[in-house]
Amino acid sequence: MILVLGGTSDSLKICDLLNKMGKSYILSVATDYGREISKNYCKDINVARLDKYDMIKFARKNNITIIIDATHPYALEVSQNAMDASRELGVKYIRYERCSSDILEHESIIKVDSIKEACDIANKIGENIFLSTGSKNLGQFVHNLKNKNIIARVLPTSEVLKSCESLGLKAHNIVAMKGPFSYDINKHLYKFYNCDLVITKESGVAGGFEEKLRASIDSNIKTIVILRPSLDYPEKIDDIEELNLQLFLSNGAR
């Protein structure tokens, strides 16, 4: 049995692959939203936030022989837990992570390593700041961006909107939409909100990352990109065909 850790668009591609290969698998997601976007791809979905010991218990109960980690690039704790669990269990761990983009080298892109660094720079160069970083760390931006007009693009769920309101964001500060977003949508939103700075994360090609950056470049807007954190993965793959081959060669995944 294969355990897929997901809730991302990447995990849906993996579900498609496993369905075509006739492999038995369980998809584990952290939220009801993750289950909602996955239910048309996978029948066996576990909704829980698993720490290392939860993963070990779950893997033993379900005879897991391979863990495919397709969680968000910034979900470091989950990935570390999965690697630790796989080592203790003696099962194969594969990290599937979408590739990034050469567009990061453009002169209008400012690369940083942390939210704090992004906010420090944004406080110097931005006024109408478009946040395309998700809602998880939104509080840090609201706290650290002083006297700035923030436009936060977030998922249109009641839980997320309540969180935005609790942070003091008003209706004119919130763009509640589900991505990924096209070049044109990004460009129109930047213009509509009169943005002079975009802050985003290095989410990768599959997440609409290039479309965000190309729209800001063509709008003459600087973009601060928070680079992916890095872990020492024992095995990392960014191509679905390579994953296909790995699973085909793995005798333990039926």
Domain CATH number, residue 132? 3.40.50.620
The answer to whether residues 107 and 87 belong to one domain is no
Q: Which residue segment(s) compose the domain that 139 sits in?
A: 102-226
Quick one: tokens of 236?
Answer: 């990392």
The answer on 172 and 132 residing in a single domain is yes
52: pLDDT strictly greater than 70: yes
The whole-number average pLDDT for the span 154-166 is: 93
Longest Cα separation, the chain: 58
Q: What is the CATH number of the domain that holds 93?
A: 3.40.50.720
The answer to whether position 137 is within a domain reads yes
Same domain, 175 and 195: yes
Q: What are the pLDDT digits (tens) for 193-234?
A: 999 999 999 876 666 889 999 999 999 999 999 998 878 899
Region 7-35 average pLDDT: 91
Does any domain span residue 134? yes
Would you say residue 242 has pLDDT above 60?
yes
Do 125 and 218 have their domain in common? yes
Contact partners, residue 154, CB within 8 Å, separation at least 6: 134, 135, 138, 160, 161, 164, 174, 175, 176
Choice among 51-65, 83-97, 236-250 with the minimum mean pLDDT: 236-250
In this prediction, residue 28 carries a pLDDT of 96
| One domain for residues 235 and 160 | no
pLDDT value of position 207: 66
The more confident residue out of 110 and 72 is: 110
Count structural domains, the chain. Answer: 2
> In a 10 Å sphere around its CB, with 0-12 CB exposed, 13-18 middle and 19+ buried, how is residue 172 labelled?
exposed
Mean of the per-residue pLDDT values of the chain: 91
3-state SS, residue 126 = coil
